[in-house]
Amino acid sequence: MTSMKERMLAGELYHADDPELAADLARAADLMERFNATRATEAQLRADLLGELLGSVAADVQIRPPFYCDYGRYISIGAGSFLNFGVTLLDVAPITIGRNVQFGPHVQVLTPTHPVQPELRRAGWEAAKPIVIGDNVWLGGGAIVLAGVTIGADTVVGAGAVVTRDLPPGVVAVGSPARVIRTVS
């Protein structure tokens, strides 16, 4: 029999109130609270806390508090990336962020999904799909990336856009749902 954590990471329906998952959430909440309470002058403490919270984070990544995530350990962030104030990464499934990626303020990257059937939702079932953000992507302020999406390298997503499906490399996408309006020249 598989655990709820194994089901969650496999993208299958799972119950979020599982004791093992609850302990992982509590661990992450404690580390986030400590990170979000740091001062701008405490760069090494911030880096240490992120190293403990996140699955993989390059040494030169900058994340401005406040920062929010579910588990943290399913997030990977590449070198030179910058995440501005108020970013939320719900990592129920893996979130992979490439190198030199820029997030504007209040960007949301959301891997969780919920069943459409009301009976399953009432019974507490959830699922998730991984998200991949390629190298040198820029997500404008307030952009939202939904479960299962891959954004290709060098793509720009406009402020407030809602990305519901994959975006190819080297394009500019805007709107809700996000649509490609041109290539990056």
Catalytic residue positions, numbered: 114
- Let me know: does 140 contact 158? Beta carbons within 8 Å: yes
Task: Please choose, from the candidates 119, 117, 71, 75, the residue with its C-alpha nearest in 3D space to the C-alpha of residue 98.
Answer: 75
DSSP classification of residue 153 = T
Structure tokens at 128: 């998730």
**Tokens (6 digits) for 151:** 């954004």
Compute the half-sphere exposure of residue 185: CA atoms within 13 Å on the CB side of its CA.
2
CA 166/CA 169 separation, integer angstroms: 10
Residue 74's SS3 state is coil
126 forms beta bridges with 14
Type of residue found at 167: L
Taking CA atoms, 16 is separated from 21, 25, 28, 91, 184, in Å, by 6, 10, 15, 13, 40
